[in-house]
Amino acid sequence: MQVAAVRVHRTRFSAMREGAAHAVLPVEVITDDGLRGAGEIGLAYGAGGRGAAEILLELARTRLLGRDPFRTEQIQDELRRDTFWGHVPGPILGAAISALDEALWDIKGKALGQPVHVLLGGACRDRLRLYCNGWYRGLGPPDAYARAAKEVQARGFTALKFDPMKLDAEGRAHHVTRHIERWYEDLAVARVEAVRDAVGPAMDIIVELHGNMWPMDSIRFGRRIAHTRPFCMEEVADAEDAGAAREVGLQTGIAIAGGERLSTAGDFRRHFEAKAFSLAQPDMGIAGGFTGVRQIAALAAAHGVYLQPHNCGGPVSTAACVNLSFATPNFLIQEIFPAWPEDDRLDMVDEAFERGIVDGHLPLPTRPGLGVELRPDYLKGCDLLGEVQRD
């Protein structure tokens, strides 16, 4: 079996009320005997998606066509070691490598008739605990957050995440840059307190800061919400600043999560050695796919750090996260967006995991590969950014 073709697609979504439109980037890797593997470039938002697509097609043309898709370790090592910039890929080159890796593992699972989690060593649990994200769109006052959080709890979730500074008092997009003004900090604190009062002490609350503040502000804010007993605070400083993340944790007494913008095991090693993270959040679509994130998970375990993969894209990303999380001993909890009311991205695949949530958990996947199939009819409505084929 050899890789015969690779395609990259891009969705056409309208802009969200809270910012620019997402553009999910599904990838197809096709073998000479007709097996199709699915991957996803982990840059559905922000800048860089098209750049990653171009890099992916270049890598596929020069390094992947004609190769045995089962040799994922060798292929990833070459994509990292033999491309010069791949030594420190960053999120753009890292996303290209990751999407290809996911698709190759999907092919392996389909060829063997096994879910990817079986190929990774087998399940470590029978169901996967989830935390709900995306539940607070367009909300302004704290009491609106409280009502929405109660609705999440009523759907069976035992954990949720939100950024209390993402939206202004009217529910419009608002971006904090390093320093947070006092009035806005007061509003954010009130939102966290309202959510805790609404859901009670048993539900876990993850407070997301998106790396927008510097340590002084994150420390002050963390101290003000510490009494609400957050599960953790996420991205409390600049993404590469391990020392700052550690300091925020020490000064607030709150566990720190982060890592969604890091792309290699070496990036994470620096944070683990600095004891910056209690929970590591590699993105499957940036940090090397299954091959790369397995290394990060093992490194995290050696440093006593839990894994909770970052997931904010399309249903292929979710499928990759779910398979890895089931097979990872130090996994703790999985991020999920149960719905995307702004677009139809969940229709991209035949059976999106997002539609199989039961009481805030997902059951063990049984279908081969990633457990989802890209729908050809859906892809026809996307932009085809490029295709490479073996001669």
Residue 287 identity (one-letter amino acid): A
Q: What is the CA radius of gyration of the chain?
A: 20
At 86, list the tokens. 């791949």
| Token code pair at residue 153 | 């709890």
Is residue 341 within 8 Å of residue 148, measured between CB atoms? no
Alpha helices for the chain (secondary structure H) = 49-59, 72-81, 90-112, 116-119, 142-154, 182-199, 215-225, 242-252, 265-273, 289-302, 315-326, 376-379
Going by C-alpha positions, the residue among 69, 24, 49, 123 that lies closest to residue 326 is 123
User: Which is nearest to 389 in space by CA: 2, 16, 5?
Assistant: 5
Look up 22 and say whether it is catalytic.
no
Q: Whose structure tokens read 């954990």?
A: 159
Asked whether 197 and 146 are in contact (CB, 8 A), the reply is yes
| Tokens standing for residue 140 | 């302004």
The Cβ-side half-sphere exposure at 94, using a 13 Å CA radius, reads 27
Residue tagged active-site, from 9, 22, 117, 310? 310
Q: How far is it, in rounded angstroms, from Cα 289 to Cα 103?
A: 9
| 191 vs 136: CA distance, rounded Å | 11
For residue 321 the two structure tokens come to 């996260």
- The verdict on whether 210 is a catalytic residue reads yes
Decide: 21 and 49 in contact? Cβ < 8 Å: no
Closest Cα partner for 59 from 43, 83, 92, 42? Answer: 83
Encoded amino acid at 10, one letter: R
Catalytic residues: 210, 310
